[in-house]
Amino acid sequence: MRLSFNNFRGSWAGLPVAWTSGDEFDENTYREDVRSCCEVGSPGIYTGGTTGEFYAVEFDEFKRIAKATVEEAHAKGKFAMIGVSSTYTGGAAKRAKYALKIGADAIQIALPFWMEVPDTEVVNFFYDVSAASDFLPLSIYETKRSKKILTVEQHKAIKEKLSNYLMVKSNANTVGTTEEGCAAITKLGINVFGEESTLWSTLGQHGMSGCCSAFVYYAPQIVIPMYKFLEQKDWAAVSSYGTKLNRMLKFVISEFATRGYYDSALDRIGGRASGVLKTSIHCRKPYPHGTEEDVQKLRRWLEENVYPFITT
């Protein structure tokens, strides 16, 4: 089955990469994590984003990680999306070409981030990278880290050039995280993905239809049924579940993000605390990471605050 606007939805698990104590790719553990996320109900697995440390992975490692993702997801009957972001067109295109070779279902690309891409090159960039994958279903990873926020008109121009543009991962302060922007992008035939705990209950009513998620392995018992309520347009239930996730997010930020932990470090703690992931706790240097004590602290919080909610 090929991804389309109608099925490129839900909480896709965005995974960290498991590393050995020697800082090499721990393929067996990573494959186990892909299988685990499939088994808890994620419709697809995504690698190569910020949590997946795409910025700290060499091309030979990228190939092994991408191949493992596709093989394990497909073995479980799930979709696999490969992040191909790079600091230049050629680097992203090289990764996109490999994603096509191994049978990925979609690619995701952020605008190059070291220097701001000029407006005149935005559509060309996405076209060139997408062409390298023979126009696999495309997701744009939109983040202020890329130094440019796309307008609705730019999303429209990309869609007119690339009918395979099916989803945008809208991060904080991008147009997809506003009611008007989310609705306008959705009307173009582009699914808008955004953070479940704070956005689904409001922007679901304006078309938001999924998330490149870490919470799906922090608390799948909440996130998977929450998406079903989103599909059913049961906004009261979505809001109730979102409130619980938002409490968890606030706890994670107050306890761990304030210590300088970024995306991958936080999501390693969350996946390990829930038991869904077996990944390593450490990120690649020079970025900070959590500890086993952090994992135990979050696990205790989940046991006291999340699991009782599930059974009521």
Instruction: Give the residue-averaged pLDDT of 207-234.
Output: 96
186 within a domain of the structure (yes/no): yes
Cα separation, 116 vs 270, in Å, equals 32
On whether residue 241 sits in a domain, the answer given is no
Closest CA to 267 of 221, 303, 225, 219: 219
Q: Report the pLDDT value the prediction gives residue 305, as an integer from 0 to 100.
A: 85
CATH code, domain carrying 170: 3.20.20.70
Q: What's the domain range around 59? A: 10-219
237: enclosing H helix or E strand: helix 235-255
Residue 20 confidence (pLDDT) above 90:
yes
Residue range 148-185, pLDDT digits in tens: 999 999 999 999 999 999 999 999 999 999 999 999 99
Within-domain flag for 236: no
309, pLDDT greater than 70: no
Residues 237-294: tens digit of each pLDDT: 999 999 999 999 999 999 999 999 999 999 999 999 999 999 999 999 999 999 999 9
The pLDDT of residue 266 is 98
Q: Is residue 127 domain-resident?
A: yes
What tens digit of pLDDT does each residue of 54-111 get?
A: 999 999 999 999 999 999 999 999 999 999 999 999 999 999 999 999 999 999 999 9
As for how many domains the chain has, the answer is 1
Measured distance CA(36)–CA(38) in Å, rounded: 5
Global pTM reads: 0.95
Predicted confidence (pLDDT) at residue 16 exceeds the cutoff of 50: yes
Say whether pLDDT at 310 is over 70: no
For residue 18, is it within any domain?
A: yes
- With a cut of 90, say whether residue 47 has pLDDT above it: yes
16 in any annotated domain: yes
For residue 91, what pLDDT is reported?
A: 98
Burial of 225 (0-12, 13-18, 19+ CB in 10 A): middle
Burial class of 160 by CB neighbour count within 10 A (0 to 12, 13 to 18, 19+): exposed
> Is residue 36 in a domain?
yes
Residue 19 maps to a domain: yes
- Say what the pLDDT of residue 1 is: 82
- pLDDT surpasses 80 at 50: yes
**Residue range 121-128: mean pLDDT, rounded:** 98
Q: Residue 311 pLDDT more than 60?
A: no
**Above 50 in pLDDT, residue 312?**
no
Packing angle, helices 59-75 and 27-39, rounded to 10: 40
Please tell me the predicted confidence (pLDDT) of residue 308: 66
* Torsion angles phi and psi, residue 205, rounded to 5: -75, -10
Average pLDDT over residues 228-233: 97
